[in-house]
Structure 1
Amino acid sequence: MRLRCPVCHAEAALEAWAEDDAAREMMAILSGLDATLGRPLVAYLGLWRSASRALSWDRAVRIAREVLALEADAQRLAAALSQTVEQLRLKRDAGDVRPLTGHNYLKRVLEGTPPQASGAIAVGQVQPQPQRGGAARAPSATVDGVLRLEALKRRARGEAGDAG
């Protein structure tokens, strides 16, 4: 299955990504998060990439783990990530295009972010998505891709187990 990037229109085989341990791990991390946290986390990861290079899967996984370890309240972390991304994008628009090298800015924003109201969701806990009109919603393309990757992985394990 070939996938096309919606931004740069580059194509890559889903099977190729399934072969990369870090890519699978990153997709698993993102699929376990509510969209209100997953989207700002992905945007934050983009701030670590230099203008001339891609962010490696290994580095993205390490950064994502570090960020998720900063705060247990997923809503508070999502708010801080969103604010950080917004402010740093404004700086980039003004000409400062240096990639991030640490979490200090995010930590300062997080310190100034008030705790969220009761019913907060812990990081790593999946929040159920509201259903529209009682009908089941189709999974997002990301979730669908991760599910397919996991199916490929299980199939590969089964075939390897049969051969050995």
Structure 2
Amino acid sequence: MMLRCPSCHISHSLDQVVSDDAARELMGLMGTLPKEVSRPLVAYLGLFRSKSRALAWERALRLCQEVIALDPNGGQHSPRLGAALSETVEALRAKQQQGGWKPLTGHNYLKRVLESLEAVPMQAPAAPTPASALPVATGKSATRDTISQVLGRWNTEDAHE
């Protein structure tokens, strides 16, 4: 079975990934991270890859461990780390589009973004809607209406985050 990286678009066999110690450790580490951190981290790792070469598993693992060590929440995977990774990836991809860009060699840009985010207080997430506030419905059309209302609330809650 072939796997394709969404960031660097390199294809690897699942057998190769499982048989390589660094690849297996990287996948295990990524699996412990919340999606708000792991998704932008994968994209961030792609910024270290040159156009002509794949990123070695050992280097990807080391870079991932270094990024996690930068977490301002002491390794608890704070939302600031995910936000900083996303902001870094967006900014550097814009530079890539302009041309003359070279792959990253260190985490200095990410460190500056993290510092700027630490200076600005993060908003607390919106409180979830209590179950008692959800509408009660019976019948198929009422169930559809209830689902639409709940999804509408989730969408507006997500928009405020």
Question: What range describes the TM-score normalised by the shorter chain of this pair?
Answer: 0.5 to 0.7
Counterpart contact for 1:83–1:109, Cα < 8 Å: yes
Q: Which residue of 1 aligns with 2:106?
A: 102
Superposed, 1:2-151 pairs within 5 Å as 2-5=1-4, 8=9, 10=11, 12-73=12-73, 74-113=78-117, 114-117=120-123
Counterpart contact for 1:49–1:99, Cα < 8 Å: yes
Q: 1:6 to 1:79 in 2, by over 3 A?
A: closer
Highest RCO, 1 vs 2 (Cα 8 Å, sep ≥ 6): 1
Distance 2:100 2:83 in 1: 23
Q: Tell me by how many angstroms 1:63 deviates.
A: 0.3
Aligned residues: 118
- Mark the runs of 5 or more structure 2 residues left unpaired by the alignment: 126-146, 148-161
Letter in 2 for 1:17: V
What percent identity do the matched residue pairs reach?
50
Structure with more helix by fraction: 2
Q: 1:86 to 1:9 in 2, by over 3 A?
A: closer
Secondary structure of the structure 2 residue equivalent to 1:112: helix
- Mark the runs of 5 or more structure 1 residues left unpaired by the alignment: 120-132, 134-164
Distance 1:17 1:44 in 2: 20
Q: 1:89 to 1:39 in 2, by over 3 A?
A: same
Q: Tell me by how many angstroms 1:98 deviates.
A: 0.4
